[in-house]
Structure 1
């Protein structure tokens, strides 16, 4: 017997088939009999400055292998296990286990339904299988995973995905079996592996850099008080945040800033950006922010975007959606004419919302608390509304399909009625009782119909007029069902109302008339000649009058220093391009009726004509004053076109805009007979400026082309108007 054999005989022999136990603690901790936290280096060795001596033994008594599962691999394996369990459980519950064999993606292995026995679920037995009738199959069933770290929704339920997950798990598990010493390496890096956010503007920063730009506690609490002021606060909250919860998290942030979740920090920056922007746009900066509020708003907006990049929006962490939403709204308010850019950013918002499962009603998922569920409904309502509005403004189909979501509208409740530990929602208050959420609900109802309008108008092919009338009735019904406190009755007594309430009334009225003009604009010209389309003609003219009355009021309020209406930066602007369509509708209508009256020697409705001319004269001087500021190229173009058209109709310009006295309501169709009187066409003044205006081009604009396309065919010999 040689020396090596003799030495081996002296060692205790392992029983065949038993694996050698691998020490979990490092060698220094084992020798000192200390509890090891199993890090590299461990806490004990770090304290003793013995980082190099912190060694873990491998399976053969030597140092452990340096190979390790990367975080993405280990986390990917765990997520696959979770997803597989959820997928199989969902399919079994639905009775969708196939009878045949399903083939994996490799094509070499087959797994039949009989192989998925009780071992997959422990001792539980599989339910009785059945094939449901076709009309009982539930569409769109997915898997929701919600915890404190993320919210993730998976919509696929195909067995191919289950088999793919099995193959991936088998591959990862084989690596672990071959090398039991594999451990998870946790590392942090500032490098972000993913696409840039918002066209590459936001570059990741460091947490200390983020924290260093936050305002002091007294300043921050003053700003937050302004933000959460539902009545007088000029910055919109959209009620996506629960104030008690946000303030609790704010105080936790103050207690340990370095432990603040990066997404919550991004949300905080987005809120600060909105408040600073409200100071700048309303010109009511306090002394400490005088002259710098715009720069601070931009800084906080970029910081919020940096936090989104650092936190990785694809990870679907809490507050990802809210932070994205507020950041987008800051971008929109900062540059209100960039509707197309905002629409693209909203596309990202929608994708994240779907990825996080906000499109599914929380009542179907017990892992979502009652409080979280209600807040998710509020956030989804905002996402849905914003999609409808931005799609309407840019003239593209809505990105959210009607049958792709089932999330209910939020309840009409105050924030103080909600609590994080609540187990049941209180009954929703009636819509006749105003709460801060009431406006969001009724606004959503109007915008959802407007979304269907733009989907109809962007469909390829013909536009059945029956569909136009159906959408017309739907929009009118939603508008007529507004609570009385949200209905705009006139402008004479607005000084006695709160600024926020007046702004909400104006926005709802604006959306309604804007929707009517766009819905019926394609049939406006036909409605003058064909009785079948008369409703479109009347809708367009009445809504156009109402819109120009709003423009007049908004402009007048903007000229009043200290006006409460003008303080709110999130409002309909009197230079909105939507007012251009209203003006062109009325100009073309007047021209057509005058031409028809002169050729057929018939009377016209003088009351309607004078009302329209008065509205157009007011609009003309508004665009003139805006064009003189030379801040908007579009204002110059609109004034050139409108003034030339009015001159060609023999209508002069007013010197100044009078104060508004009433609003034109669009509830009725046409002017009452007793209010109208007729007189001959020759009573009109002759045109004072002959211009070669191609009226067909402007008819095309009203029916759907862009203003710039129509302006391209406009006579350019307008030196007198420059």
Structure 2
């Protein structure tokens, strides 16, 4: 009768172990049980991630079930790996030592890599695991090759008959169009969501140009995603659009072409059997695919979950320092994991899924460094890489990462019990601190050479999102102010909303009218217009309750300008198209002049306009002032408008978290069809 043992090992392999080794294994197992009992007593409900990867704040890592899971022979030594489970602080900027017993913090495991580049993480935290994991690299290659003979399941990416490589290659555009879209992606989008190592992709793309059949299906999927994202940045009059698409309008062409390339990317992943084997190209393609879907307002929650488990299967939930990887390979892993966390936070906010579940933060954030500086021939030390002077290719992503942390904290407050004034003040100060960091960082490069236009775009986008967060943070207090609960605190929040709304309209106007921001029209017509519409509604309500005639006149002029910008963007933006009749009606409703008002107030500096060739300085950023000296009188109004309270009811925070959450039908009291 044939022997059968877990992981496909024969008994003869285990019999070769000495009695002393078995005794050591038993002793270690007993010690591990004692340690686990201590952990259960001391850390019930706490975040604990080691070996088994189970934790309250993180989805549980699936157990390894493959009968022939393996590690490379040269990765089996217990001394080959350093401790990996350093738990980050809330900002993830510093690593603290874990409180877990040292015996559980030793060998996290190893990476098994096939000749085709497919990667699998093998958990390994004891000598017992070491004995059970000794399968040669050649056996792993045989296992990967045997998978090729099976009929793959394309779920969730394709049908039962996956497309052949030739059919997939045929879906690519002509070479010169492929070059143009690829260049557009790396000029516009790569600095915004810097997941790829640009020089590495450039080398791989050159090999692809010379021999298209030589690339892997996962790399081909990555190329299709790059093209799908790049096409969204084309201008309406770009000659590529009518050549690549047949739709009636440029915006429709962009949408359809991008969908076609995303679909081709999914078919490539299905043909590559994404559910059973993965490479870094697979993970990069999945992360960028989620990014593309998010920016196209397409559902991606399920795909995020799948990508998360693909990353775990590859060991990306552990810091790359645990493995023998080059600096570029390590940073590619960190970038993918950080990007996945960001996308996960975006979806949690969109779904208002604000529970404690979160992805592991045990992986250090990527280095704030340029791609060329990571190369072996750069000559830079790690200390130099960790302390850059001006903005790098990674600066924006790292700033945005921290901003999403603040966004999640704000949503946790405004969608739960009423936040205390101290919490509001802290979160407001957190936003201000980030704004000061952005300004100082981007200013630091201007003394050497002019700041590239992409950095001006980045800081406008950062400030835009921070203004949006302020509107959400102070929304409950603003609503109380508008309903008559007027005191120092609500009056301060009202002024903070006023400043933030002005800043958002200024940013949209700058991005829409300045030629240097033409490649970012996808953002201006999308997220920036959503933020501007939010700001316009807030300003309209404030204008109906003005503190002075001068304030009324200023807001009215801003809204008239905003309406013109919405008209300018309406051909590219369905949101602007829907928003135009609403803003027009709101302006008409607010046209009656209010009686002259006089309210004691402390003036706060307004947010400066973020012009196309300037970066706001730290002193331009308003300091959080949530208390004011003196009392605040209740204003009196002469607006005989029956819709004022109905408009105010549209300011509920849940309506303004994402563009898809706007209840357009609720505006039917203004117009019959939106």
Scaled to the shorter chain, the TM-score interval is 0.5 to 0.7
* Structure 1 residues 636-694: Cα deviation after superposition (integer angstroms, max 9, x where no partner): 65344433333333259xxxxxxx977796514689x9xxxx9x999x9x76xx65315
Partner of 2:56: none
C-alpha change, 1:343 and 1:564, in structure 2 (3 Å) is farther
Kindly report which structure 2 residues correspond to 1:614-625, keeping only aligned pairs within 5 A, or say none.
614-623=557-566
2:290/2:343 contact within 8 Å kept: no
C-alpha change, 1:144 and 1:471, in structure 2 (3 Å) is farther
Separation in structure 2 between the aligned mates of residue 386 and residue 162 of structure 1, nearest angstrom? 34
Kindly report which structure 2 residues correspond to 1:5-24, keeping only aligned pairs within 5 A, or say none.
none
1:265/1:307 contact within 8 Å kept: yes
Partner of 2:534: 581
Offset at residue 415 of structure 1 (A): 1.8
C-alpha change, 1:523 and 1:202, in structure 2 (3 Å) is farther
Kindly report which structure 2 residues correspond to 1:102-117, keeping only aligned pairs within 5 A, or say none.
none
Partner of 1:8: none
Kindly report which structure 2 residues correspond to 1:465-476, keeping only aligned pairs within 5 A, or say none.
465-476=421-432
Separation in structure 2 between the aligned mates of residue 572 and residue 432 of structure 1, nearest angstrom? 29
Partner of 1:566: 518
Partner of 1:478: 434
* Structure 1 residues 98-150: Cα deviation after superposition (integer angstroms, max 9, x where no partner): 36999xxxxxxxxxxxxxxxxxx99999xxxxxxx995437999545353544
Counterpart selection for 2:543 from 580, 587, 590: 590
C-alpha change, 1:190 and 1:414, in structure 2 (3 Å) is same
Q: Is 2:340 the partner of 1:405?
A: no
1:359/1:406 contact within 8 Å kept: yes
C-alpha change, 1:681 and 1:190, in structure 2 (3 Å) is same
Separation in structure 2 between the aligned mates of residue 392 and residue 183 of structure 1, nearest angstrom? 41
Counterpart selection for 1:611 from 554, 560, 574: 554
Partner of 1:308: 269
C-alpha change, 1:430 and 1:219, in structure 2 (3 Å) is same
Offset at residue 398 of structure 1 (A): 8.0
* Structure 1 residues 455-508: Cα deviation after superposition (integer angstroms, max 9, x where no partner): 4444x44433432222222222122111436479xxxxxxx9743222112101
Q: Is 2:269 the partner of 1:317?
A: no
Instruction: Name the TM-score, length of structure 2 as normaliser.
Output: 0.67
Partner of 2:288: 326
| SS of aligned partner of 1:548 | helix
Partner of 2:233: 278
Instruction: Name the TM-score, length of structure 1 as normaliser.
Output: 0.63
C-alpha change, 1:94 and 1:667, in structure 2 (3 Å) is farther
Separation in structure 2 between the aligned mates of residue 185 and residue 261 of structure 1, nearest angstrom? 15
Partner of 1:97: 32
Partner of 2:203: 248
Higher-Rg structure is 1
Q: Is 2:450 the partner of 1:507?
A: no
Partner of 1:367: 324
1:521/1:704 contact within 8 Å kept: no
1:243/1:415 contact within 8 Å kept: yes
Number of residue pairs aligned between Structure 1 and Structure 2: 555
Q: Give the CA RMSD over aligned residues.
A: 5.3
Unmatched segments (≥5 aa) in structure 2: 18-22, 38-74, 80-96, 136-141, 247-252, 445-449, 594-607
Relative contact order (alpha carbons < 8 A, sep ≥ 6): 1 or 2 greater? 2
Separation in structure 2 between the aligned mates of residue 588 and residue 456 of structure 1, nearest angstrom? 23
Kindly report which structure 2 residues correspond to 1:213-224, keeping only aligned pairs within 5 A, or say none.
213-214=171-172, 220-221=178-179, 223-224=181-182
Partner of 1:427: 384
| SS of aligned partner of 1:145 | strand
* Structure 1 residues 574-604: Cα deviation after superposition (integer angstroms, max 9, x where no partner): 66323232222222223234xxxxxxxxxx3
Q: Is 2:340 the partner of 1:383?
A: yes
Q: Is 2:410 the partner of 1:453?
A: yes
Partner of 2:316: 358
* Structure 1 residues 55-96: Cα deviation after superposition (integer angstroms, max 9, x where no partner): xxxx9xxxxxxx9x9xxx9996479x99xx9xx999988984
Offset at residue 509 of structure 1 (A): 0.8
Offset at residue 205 of structure 1 (A): 0.7
Counterpart selection for 2:155 from 191, 195, 203: 195
Partner of 2:648: 698
Offset at residue 191 of structure 1 (A): 3.8
Separation in structure 2 between the aligned mates of residue 694 and residue 347 of structure 1, nearest angstrom? 43
Q: Is 2:626 the partner of 1:647?
A: no
C-alpha change, 1:260 and 1:434, in structure 2 (3 Å) is same
2:338/2:365 contact within 8 Å kept: yes
Partner of 2:502: 545
| SS of aligned partner of 2:385 | coil
Separation in structure 2 between the aligned mates of residue 201 and residue 307 of structure 1, nearest angstrom? 12
Q: Is 2:478 the partner of 1:520?
A: no
Separation in structure 2 between the aligned mates of residue 124 and residue 448 of structure 1, nearest angstrom? 36
Separation in structure 1 between the aligned mates of residue 78 and residue 244 of structure 2, nearest angstrom? 68
C-alpha change, 1:497 and 1:606, in structure 2 (3 Å) is farther
C-alpha change, 1:465 and 1:219, in structure 2 (3 Å) is same
User: Higher mean Cα deviation, 548-557 or 570-579?
Assistant: 570-579
Separation in structure 1 between the aligned mates of residue 36 and residue 424 of structure 2, nearest angstrom? 50
C-alpha change, 1:444 and 1:623, in structure 2 (3 Å) is same
| SS of aligned partner of 1:323 | helix
2:348/2:354 contact within 8 Å kept: yes
Partner of 2:579: 638
Offset at residue 359 of structure 1 (A): 3.2
Unmatched segments (≥5 aa) in structure 1: 1-58, 60-66, 103-120, 126-132, 173-181, 489-495, 558-562, 594-603, 653-659
Separation in structure 1 between the aligned mates of residue 568 and residue 396 of structure 2, nearest angstrom? 33
C-alpha change, 1:215 and 1:550, in structure 2 (3 Å) is closer
Separation in structure 2 between the aligned mates of residue 184 and residue 223 of structure 1, nearest angstrom? 34
Kindly report which structure 2 residues correspond to 1:86-235, keeping only aligned pairs within 5 A, or say none.
96-98=31-33, 135-137=99-101, 143-148=109-114, 149-153=117-121, 186=146, 188=148, 191-193=151-153, 195-197=155-157, 204-214=162-172, 220-221=178-179, 223-229=181-187, 233=188
Separation in structure 1 between the aligned mates of residue 366 and residue 144 of structure 2, nearest angstrom? 42
Partner of 1:24: none
2:217/2:272 contact within 8 Å kept: yes
1:190/1:205 contact within 8 Å kept: no
C-alpha change, 1:580 and 1:96, in structure 2 (3 Å) is farther
Separation in structure 2 between the aligned mates of residue 470 and residue 579 of structure 1, nearest angstrom? 25
C-alpha change, 1:623 and 1:225, in structure 2 (3 Å) is closer
Partner of 2:43: none
